[in-house]
């Protein structure tokens, strides 16, 4: 076989694999989606990570708590699905090899006896690799003209120093997708390279600018102590009606009017928490989360 013919066959084999990876739907996801349709949506939820002995207990069959767990351990995205994503039977994730993990913890806790601990190893210095550990809850229904209020406690463990890359820790996502708004478009919050909280829209085309704190007025996020973060998002496709506000320990650090929905028919239905995107090749990262609340009605003073 000539070299030219070999590379041609290799190209079509890789293309076929990519198409299969993109459009195939595992049976567990189909089962999850079927069960989800029978559940009511509600824009109100709270979680203190209490009264459980194992992380698996966060995923009861009655859909009353969390619905999905994701772990990623430096797998290459173009070769296979890099994220061990569990629907319906999350215990499968705990048998996956790798060092990214989620644990019930009594080491650090803000209220009650426990918190949820997320740990990821350094990212390998190769193209398309990263580490992540997160949990997701579906069944929200935030759309045009509605408000989202969130409050939660976060504890970053380790040496206080700038991140090598942005560290994403919170997201509200939509399930619908199109050629412009691929995958699960949504609003995310992250710690930037200087340890300041910022916000961005992901999986939008064209991609809007990130919301970042004003130079000289930035509030640094302290490590090794509990920090209360509060978000208010007004959802709209209209730049004049949408709004993002963020408070860190009662101090307002972000205020940005602007578009917060990609399309009028978009509904944000997935809340995601944890270390959602870690690309630091040198350091392990640990994050604790406790006492989170989300609602479409005010749960704190604006």
Q: Kindly tell me the burial class for residue 147, based on how many C-beta atoms sit within 10 Å of its own C-beta (0-12, 13-18, 19 or more).
A: middle
CB atoms within 10 A of CB 223: 14
Q: What is the DSSP string of the chain?
A: --HHHHHHHHHHHHHHHHHHHHH---HHHHHHHHHHHTS---SEEEE---S-SSGGGGS-TT-SS--EEEEEES--TTTS--EEEEES-GGGGGGS-SS-EEEEESSS-SSSS-EEEEEEPPPPSSTT--EEEEEEE----B-TT-EEEEEEEEEEES-----SS-EEEEEEEES---SSS-SS-EEEEEE-TTSBEEEEEES-SSPPPPB-PPTT---BPPSSS-EEEEEEEE--SSTTT-EEEEEETTEEEEEEES---SSTT--EEEEEEEEEEE--SS--EEEEEEEEEEESS-SS--
pTM of the model: 0.84
Interatomic CA distance for residues 275 and 123, integer angstroms: 13
Which distant-in-sequence residues (6+ apart) come within 8 Å of 238 by Cβ? 259
With tokens 């296979």, the residue in question is 80
Interatomic CA distance for residues 291 and 199, integer angstroms: 21
Q: What is the pLDDT of residue 299?
A: 95
143 and 268 Cβ atoms separated by less than 8 Å: yes
218 and 198 Cβ atoms separated by less than 8 Å: no
Q: What is the pLDDT of residue 114?
A: 97
Longest Cα–Cα distance in the chain: 72
Q: What is the pLDDT of residue 104?
A: 95
pLDDT, mean of each 10-residue run, the chain (302 residues): 58 46 46 71 95 89 86 57 49 61 93 95 72 90 96 92 82 72 80 87 78 87 95 94 96 94 87 90 91 96 80
Q: What is the pLDDT of residue 122?
A: 87
């Amino acid at each position: 076989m000539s070299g030219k013919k070999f590379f041609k066959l290799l190209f079509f084999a890789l293309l076929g694999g990519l198409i299969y990876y993109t459009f195939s739907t595992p049976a567990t996801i189909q089962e999850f989606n079927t069960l989800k349709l029978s559940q009511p949506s509600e824009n109100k939820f709270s979680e203190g990570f209490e009264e459980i002995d194992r992380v698996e207990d966060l995923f009861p069959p009655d859909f009353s708590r969390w619905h999905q767990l994701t772990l990623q351990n430096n797998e290459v995205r173009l070769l296979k699905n890099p994220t061990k994503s569990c629907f319906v039977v999350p215990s499968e994730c705990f048998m996956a090899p790798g060092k990214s993990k989620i644990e019930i913890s009594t080491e650090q806790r803000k209220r009650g006896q426990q918190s949820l601990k997320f740990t990821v190893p350094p990212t390998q210095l190769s193209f398309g690799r990263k580490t992540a550990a997160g949990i997701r809850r579906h069944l929200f229904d935030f759309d045009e003209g509605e408000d989202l209020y969130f409050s939660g406690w976060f504890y970053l463990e380790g040496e206080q120093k700038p991140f090598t890359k942005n560290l994403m820790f919170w997201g509200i996502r939509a399930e619908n997708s199109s050629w412009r708004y691929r995958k699960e478009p949504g609003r995310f919050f992250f710690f930037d390279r200087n340890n300041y909280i910022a916000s961005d829209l992901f999986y939008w085309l064209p991609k809007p600018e990130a919301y970042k704190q004003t130079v000289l007025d930035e509030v640094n996020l302290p490590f090794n102590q509990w920090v209360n973060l509060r978000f208010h998002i007004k959802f709209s496709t209209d730049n004049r009606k949408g709004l993002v506000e963020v408070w860190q320990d009662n101090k307002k650090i972000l205020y940005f009017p602007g578009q917060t929905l990609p399309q009028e028919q978009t509904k944000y239905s997935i809340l995601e928490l944890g270390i959602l995107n870690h690309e630091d090749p040198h350091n392990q990262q640990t994050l604790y989360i406790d006492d989170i609340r989300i609602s479409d009605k005010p749960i704190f003073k604006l």
